[in-house]
Amino acid sequence: MIKELEEVKKDFLNEINSVATLKDIEQLKIKYLGRKGIISDFMKTIPTVPAEQRATYGLQINTLKNEFTSLIGDVTRRLSRGAIPRTEKELFDITLPGKQPPLGKKHPITQTIDDVKEAFARLGFDVAYGPEVELEYYNFDALNIPSDHPSRTDFDTFYIKNDILLRSQTSTVQIRIMEKQKPPIRIIAPGRVYRPDTVDARHSFMFHQVEGLLVDEGVSFTDLKEVLNQFIKTYFGKDVQMRFRPSFFPFTEPSAEVDISCSICSGKGCSVCSYSGWVEILGAGMVDPHVFKAVHYDAEKYTGFAFGMGIERITMLKYGIDDIRLFYENDIRFLSQF
Partner 1 sequence: MKISYNWLKEYAYFYLSPQELADKLTNAGLVVADIKPKEDDFFLEIEITSNRPDCLGMIGIAREVTAAVGGSLHLPDTDFETGNTDITNLVTVSVEDPLLCPRYTARVVRNVTVRPSPEWLQKRLLCIGLRPVNNIVDITNYVMFETGQPLHAFDLDKVPDRRVVVRKASNGEKITTINGAQRVLFHTMLVVADSKKPIAVAGIMGGKETEVSESTRDILLECAHFEPRQVRRTSKELGITSDSSYRFERGTDLEGVEFASKRAAKLMKDLADGEIAGEVVDIRSRKCKEKMITLRVDRLHTVLGVEIKRDVASDILRRLQFTIAREVNNFIDVTVPSFRRDIDREIDLIEEIARVYGYNNIPTKTSIHIRSSGKTKYEIAEDCIRQCLTGLGFYEIKTYSIVDTSSLQSMHLWSDKEPIDIANPLRQEESRLRMCLLPNLINVKRYNANYGVERVRIFEIARVYLAGDTLPHEKTCLSVITDADFYSLKGILELLLQQLGIPSKGEWTPFKEPKLFKDERAAQVFLDGRVLGYLGEASKELEFKTQTSLLELDVDLLIESANFTKKYQVISQYPSVIRDLAIIIDERVAWSSIEQCIADIRIPFFKGVNFFDIYRGKQIPEGQKSVAFSLCFQAQDRTLKGEEVDIAVQTALDTLREKLGAELRKI
Q: Which of residues 277-336 bind partner 1 (CB under 8 A)?
A: 286, 288-289, 303, 327-333, 335-336
CA distance 288 to 142: 11
User: Among 3, 81, 161, 296, which residue interacts with partner 1 (rule: CB under 8 A)?
Assistant: 161
The least CB distance from residue 221 to partner 1, in Å, is 5
Handedness of CA 266, 271, 272, 277 (dihedral sign): positive
Work out whether 123 is an interface residue with Zn ion (CB under 5 A). no
Distances from the Cα of 93 to the Cα of 13, 80, 99, 308, angstroms: 21, 21, 13, 55
Q: Which is nearer to partner 1, 120 or 236 (CB)?
A: 120
Q: Which is nearer to partner 1, 25 or 302 (CB)?
A: 302
The listed partner (partner 1, Zn ion, none) that binds 73, CB under 5 to 8 Å by sort, is none
Nearest to 315 by CA among 327, 330, 329: 327
The least CB distance from residue 305 to Zn ion, in Å, is 28
Q: Which residues, in sequence order, are CB contacts of 38 under 8 Å at separation 6+?
A: 8, 31, 32
Work out whether 265 is an interface residue with Zn ion (CB under 5 A). yes
For Zn ion, which residue has the nearest CB?
262
Q: Which is nearer to partner 1, 75 or 175 (CB)?
A: 175
CA distance 300 to 214: 16
The least CB distance from residue 80 to partner 1, in Å, is 28
Work out whether 2 is an interface residue with partner 1 (CB under 8 A). no
User: Among 134, 169, 189, 314, which residue interacts with partner 1 (rule: CB under 8 A)?
Assistant: 134
Which range touches Zn ion (CB under 5 A), out of 127-135, 166-174, 266-274, 303-311? 266-274
Q: Which of residues 95-114 bind partner 1 (CB under 8 A)?
A: 101-107, 109-110
The least CB distance from residue 319 to Zn ion, in Å, is 15
- Virtual torsion, Cα 232, 238, 244, 247, nearest 10 deg: -30
Distances from the Cα of 52 to the Cα of 4, 40, 64, 262, 335, angstroms: 19, 21, 20, 77, 54
CA distance 223 to 123: 12
The listed partner (partner 1, Zn ion, none) that binds 82, CB under 5 to 8 Å by sort, is none
The least CB distance from residue 214 to partner 1, in Å, is 7
The listed partner (partner 1, Zn ion, none) that binds 237, CB under 5 to 8 Å by sort, is none
Beta pairing, strands 278-287 & 252-261 = antiparallel
CA distance 35 to 172: 79
Strand intervals (E) in 45-135 = 126-127, 133-135
